[in-house]
Amino acid sequence: MEGTRRDRSAGAGADAIADWNRTAWNRQVARGNRWTQPVDAAAVAAARRGDFSVVLTPSRPVPRDWFPPLAGLRVLGLASGGGQQMPLLAAAGATVTLHDLSPAQLAQDRAVAEREGLAIRLEEGDMRDLSRYPDGSFDLLFHPCSNSFIPDPQPVWREAFRVLAPGGVLMSGLTQPVRFLFDEKKLERGEFEVRHSLPYSDFVHLSEAERAELQAADEPWCFGHTLEQQLGGQLEAGFVLTALFEDRGRGTGDGALDERIACYLATRAVKPR
Ligand SMILES: C[S@@+](CC[C@H](N)C(=O)[O-])C[C@H]1O[C@@H](n2cnc3c(N)ncnc32)[C@H](O)[C@@H]1O
């Protein structure tokens, strides 16, 4: 299935997709995209006192009881650049590594770390390849909504399971499949036209002209996954799901759909001991 979608992607194999998405996210930083704006000094100061709020999805904070005690916790931020969550977890006492595709997104975290005197290990790389990390090297993987930038999430679930220590926690932000069904332009105008199907791919479901328009706007390539890929994939990798909540976009471009259904999910999963 994935092979078919890649074959139909006008020469855009997995690496070409990642190449463009790296460029696109670098440019989104320059454009001031919401997901590239670093936290301020007040948020870091509060986090140092143990008072922090981070998101996996657009707006609902992750419940505090999802986190193990943070002091010395080995955290991997997976596709979590932008100077948002990782500086706060570092300020709260965790030992933080950030793995992200975009040098400009990593630079946002570097800037906060230098400004605030925080230690964050920065690693440029694809979320599907965590081979530089030994088995069991983290206690918490924090993975905000970003699987929609890769054609297949399964390699991420597999690698996440491997690099977590037994008892380790995976927190993920996921986009609901329904978010990918509708004609995007009409949705923005409050009209619902079911146009696409799942799994969704910009390369299968959009015309060449529509893709050119997205590239001109520095938008990353997007993919919509089924719940079987998102939740079943975690279970297949060996995780046990322990908690889940839904969230709404509230101004992230979900249009009228946002008023009718929560388009995002956050999951907490544990690697059994
Ligand atoms: C929506 S942002 C998420 C970060 C943000 N701090 C948040 O709260 O959601 C998506 C991130 O995924 C990263 N990304 C996209 N494709 C990736 C890939 N294949 N491997 C690693 N990171 C990727 C982007 O560089 C970007 O920083």
* pLDDT digit string, tens, across residues 172-203: 999 999 999 999 999 988 899 999 999 999 99
Residue-range definition of the domain harbouring residue 27: 2-270
The DSSP code sequence of 131-149 is: TTS-TT-EEEEEE-S-GGG
Q: How far is CA 214 from CA 81, 221, 258, in A?
A: 22, 8, 22
Ligand 1 atom 2, closest CA = 35
Give the dihedral of Cα atoms 149, 216, 250, 182; nearest 10 deg. -70
User: In the chain, how many domains are there?
Assistant: 1
Pairing mode of beta strands 264-270, 223-224:
unpaired
Q: 110-118: long-range contacts (C-beta < 8 A, 24 or more apart)?
A: 111/38, 111/83, 112/38, 112/39, 112/44, 112/83, 112/87, 113/87, 115/41, 116/41, 116/44, 116/87, 116/91, 118/44, 118/87, 118/90, 118/91
- Out of 146, 147, 221, mutate this one to test ligand 1's pocket (max ligand atoms within 8 Å of CB): namely 146
The per-residue pLDDT for range 146-158, each reduced to its tens digit, is 999 999 999 999 9
Task: Show the ligand 1 pocket: residues with CB < 6 angstroms.
Answer: 18, 21, 25, 35, 55, 79-82, 84-85, 100-102, 105, 126-127, 144-146, 149-150
CATH value at residue 214 = 3.40.50.150
Q: 214-220: long-range contacts (C-beta < 8 A, 24 or more apart)?
A: 215/20, 215/24, 218/23, 218/24, 218/27, 218/28, 218/31, 219/24, 220/20, 220/21, 220/24, 220/25, 220/28, 220/149
Distance 33 CA to ligand 1 centre (A): 12
Q: Which atom of ligand 1 is least distant from the CA of 145? A: 9
Pair 266, 57: CB distance under 8 Å: yes
Q: Which atom of ligand 1 is least distant from the CA of 83? A: 6
pLDDT of residue 13: 60
Distance 84 CA to ligand 1 centre (A): 11
Digitized pLDDT (tens) for each residue of the chain, 273 residues in all: 233 333 333 345 669 999 999 999 999 999 999 999 999 999 999 999 999 999 999 999 999 999 999 999 999 999 999 999 999 999 999 999 999 999 999 999 999 999 999 999 999 999 999 999 999 999 999 999 999 999 999 999 999 999 999 999 999 999 999 999 999 999 988 899 999 999 999 999 999 999 999 999 999 999 999 999 999 999 999 999 999 999 998 776 677 898 899 999 999 999 999
Structure tokens at 132: 């530089």
pLDDT of residue 250: 76
- Out of 149, 152, 154, mutate this one to test ligand 1's pocket (max ligand atoms within 8 Å of CB): namely 149
